[in-house]
Structure 1
Amino acid sequence: MEIFSPTFARLEQGLDYASLKQKVIANNIANADTPNYKAKEVRFKTELDQAMSSFEAYRTNPKHFAFASKNTGNFLVTTRSDMVYNHNGNSVDVDREMSELAENQIYYNALIERLNGKFNSLKTVIKGGK
């Protein structure tokens, strides 16, 4: 028996992704002046494509399309080596990193708000709607 809906697991995975991305961005910013350091990034699209390729749904009619679901929690951290921004071989663009940091913070806050909403709903149900 499952106590919580699968939404909690998906929100947890989203928070794991945001946390990893925060660490990678912070690492990039910390190494902005390190010679020959190549900026890293977290790849989510690869994981999303992989998860969507095996998505499973309940079919109420045999004529419905069949597709499967896969629980994925591993995110790929890759090195960006396509550009060099500094004369010392460093590929960290601080402006880009700060922009991604802000975007990631908004994403993280949205997930937290959704998770709080789910917990508040559970609390309301436990209290009997009072």
Structure 2
Amino acid sequence: MNLFSGTIARLERGLAYSSVKQKVIANNIANVDTAGYKSKDVSFNKMLQTEMQLSSSGGESRHPKHFNLTSGETNPKVYNRMYSVRENGNGVDMDREMANLATNQIYYDAMIERVSGKFGSLTTVIRGGR
């Protein structure tokens, strides 16, 4: 019997994605003045595509249009962006990085809220609804 039905594992992968993205954004900001530095990013779409390929390669689903997100271990992929912003070859756009930082913070807070809610529900069940 799977007590958490994969929810905690999915939330954990979401938090791992957010953590890697935070580190990449911080690294980009730290290298804003480094000549030749190419900014990096973490692709949620690439991670989702990997999950979709894993789900289509095996495993059962409750509905043909549902993805089986519990199969396999996926890690967020970091890649270089292919553009230069400045003459020195530096590819960090500070406005974009700050916007990405704010977006990632909102995503992280939402994931933490869901994990907290899940554990709160389990606590309520353990206490017998009190």
Structure 1 length-normalised TM: 0.87
Contact 1:32 1:94 in 2 (8 A): yes
> What do the CA deviations read for 1:66-87 (whole angstroms, capped 9, x no partner)?
8763334211100012x21112
Size of the alignment, in residue pairs? Answer: 124
Q: Which amino acid aligns with 2:75?
A: N
Query: Aligned partners of 1:30, 1:49: CA distance in 2, in Å?
Result: 30
Could you say which residue in structure 2 is the equivalent of 1:76? 77
Query: Aligned partners of 2:93, 2:65: CA distance in 1, in Å?
Result: 44
How far the C-alpha of 1:120 sits from its partner, in A, is 0.4
**After TM superposition, what 4+ stretches of structure 1 lie above 2 angstroms from structure 2?**
1-5, 53-56, 65-73
SS at match of 2:99: helix
Query: Aligned partners of 1:98, 1:31: CA distance in 2, in Å?
Result: 14
Structure 2 length-normalised TM: 0.87
Which of 58, 63, 66 is residue 62 of structure 2 equivalent to? 58
Structure 2 gaps of 5+ residues are: none
SS at match of 2:74: coil
SS at match of 2:48: helix
- C-alpha distance 32-121 of structure 1, shift in aligned 2 (>3 A): same
- C-alpha distance 120-66 of structure 1, shift in aligned 2 (>3 A): closer
Could you say which residue in structure 1 is the equivalent of 2:126? 126
Q: Bigger radius of gyration, 1 or 2?
A: 1
How far the C-alpha of 1:2 sits from its partner, in A, is 2.8
Structure 1 gaps of 5+ residues are: 60-64
What RMSD in Å do the two structures reach over aligned CA positions?
1.8
How far the C-alpha of 1:111 sits from its partner, in A, is 0.5
